Amino acid sequence: MNEVKKAIIPLGGMATRFLPLSKAVPKELLPLADIPVIQYLVKEARDSGIKEIIFVLSANNKNLLDYFKSSSKLEKVLKERKKDECLSELKEFDGLFEGMTFSYVIQKEPLGDGHAILQAAKLVKDEPVAVMFGDDVLDGPTPGIAQLMKMFKTCQKPIIGTVKLPKEDITAYGCLKVEKIANRFYKVKGIIEKPKMEEAPSNLAVCGKYIITPEVMQYLKKAKPTEKGEIIMAEVMNNQMIKEGKLIYAYEFEGKWLECGDKLKWMKSSIYFSLNRIKGVYKENIMCLDIPVKIHSIDENNNVFVMFGDKKTKVSDAMVKVVKEDYVFLRDTLIIGKTDKKNAEEIMKIVN
C-alpha cells in the first residue's frame, strides 16, 4: 500500500489581487490573526504525519523560506538584551517543525496550477503526494490533509477535497458532479468551473487540497496547454482522466473552510481566527479592522446587531463608521464579551 509522505505547496502565482502589497510581501506571509497563512498549511501537513514539504516558488519569493529558518544571530541579540519571553517564543516556533524537511523548486512563469505541480515531479518521484494551495485553510478537529489521507488508504486513487456551499455561491468555484458512495465520500464524474447556478450539478466546491497519484503526474506531463499557455489540473482531470474512465474521488471535509484568495476573503478569515485563536484573549473578545460585517438585525430602537461566532451582539454608535445596505462598517477596535483584567487593560491601551 502506497502512503503519502510528501506535500507540494504551490506558491508561484503573482498574487495580483493583493497588489500593491504583494510586490514586497508574499501573500502567504500575510497573517491570519497572529500566524501567517503558510504556517497554517505547514502545520496541517505536519499534523497529518507528513515530514517533507516541497514549495513551488517564483524567482521573486524565495525569501519566503526564511520564515522557517532558525536565526542564531537573532537569538544572540535576544539573549544579550534579556528578551527571555521573545527568545522562548522563537525557540518554541523552531521546535514546531523539528524533524521536517523543506525543499523548493522554481516555477519560472505562472502557467497554471498543473504546471506548478509538475515542477515538483522530480522530487516527488513515483509516489502519491498531497497538494495544498495557499488560498485555502481548513479549521477543524482533524487536519484536512489527514482526512484525505485516511480515505486514500482505502481507495489508492486521486482524491479532491470539497466542501458544501449554498447553491447561490457555487458559481464562483469549481463544482463537482458526483455519485455518492458513502458518508462524505463521492466518485467524481465531472468538474465544472464556475457554473451558472441553474446548471451546477451539485453544491460541492473544490477547495484547494488534493491527494494525487503518479498517474495524475503523467497526465499533467502529457497535457496540452490552454490558449493562455496554462496547464490546469482540474481541466486535465475532467477532460482527460474522467473521460478515459480513470477513477477520481472526492471527500467532503469536516471543518470550516477559510479562504485567502483576495483581500476581502483574507480579512474575513483573519477576523475568524482573531475571534478564535489570538493568544491571551478569550474567544469572542476582540475584533479589529475597519471592514464590513453583515448585519444580523435592527430592532425597533434602531440598535444594530451582528453575529460574532455564535453570539448576537449589539454594536454601539461609537463603533460604527457607516451603515450601507446590509453591512455595518466597524471603526478601529471593538471589544466584545468578557476577558480577564490584564488583557482588558492591554487592549484598552491599544484602543486609546
Domain extent listing, the chain = 6-259, 283-351
Query: Is residue 141 packed enough to be buried (19+ CB in 10 Å), middle (13-18) or exposed (0-12)?
Result: exposed
Neighbours of 97 (CB within 10 A): 18
pLDDT of residue 278: 46
Name residue 68's amino acid.
F
Is the preceding omega at residue 20 within 30 degrees of 0, hence cis?
yes
Cα–Cα dist 106/12, whole Å: 8
pLDDT of residue 327: 59
Is residue 166 a contact partner of residue 42, using CB atoms and an 8 Å limit? no
Cα–Cα dist 188/166, whole Å: 19
Is residue 311 a contact partner of residue 284, using CB atoms and an 8 Å limit? yes
- What does each C-alpha distance from 122 to 28, 54, 61, 168 come to in angstroms? 24, 11, 21, 41
Written as tens digits, the pLDDT of the chain (352 aa) is: 688 999 999 988 877 888 888 887 888 888 888 888 999 999 999 999 999 999 999 888 877 888 888 888 888 888 888 888 888 888 888 888 888 999 999 999 889 999 999 999 999 989 999 999 988 999 888 999 999 999 999 999 999 999 999 888 999 999 999 999 999 999 999 999 999 988 899 999 999 999 999 999 999 999 999 888 999 999 999 999 999 999 999 999 998 899 888 888 888 888 888 766 544 333 333 344 444 566 777 787 777 777 655 667 776 554 554 455 565 555 444 443 444 445 444 544 443 3
* Helix, strand, coil % in the chain, rounded to nearest 5: 35, 30, 35
Residue 265's nearest CA partner among 13, 18, 14, 16 is 18
- Who contacts 230 (Cβ-Cβ below 8 Å, separation ≥6)? 111, 112, 114, 115
- What does each C-alpha distance from 150 to 104, 193, 268, 276, 340 come to in angstroms? 26, 27, 30, 27, 41
Cα–Cα dist 310/284, whole Å: 9
Cα–Cα dist 327/267, whole Å: 15
Secondary structure of residue 164 in the 3-state scheme: strand
CATH no. for 6-259: 3.90.550.10
Neighbours of 295 (CB within 10 A): 17
Q: Which three cell numbers stand for residue 6?
A: 510528501
Cα–Cα dist 348/334, whole Å: 10
The backbone torsions φ and ψ at residue 279, rounded to the nearest 5 degrees and listed phi first, read -60, 135
Cα–Cα dist 238/88, whole Å: 49
pLDDT of residue 317: 53
pLDDT of residue 316: 59
pTM of the prediction? 0.76
Cα–Cα dist 193/314, whole Å: 40
Cα–Cα dist 63/243, whole Å: 41
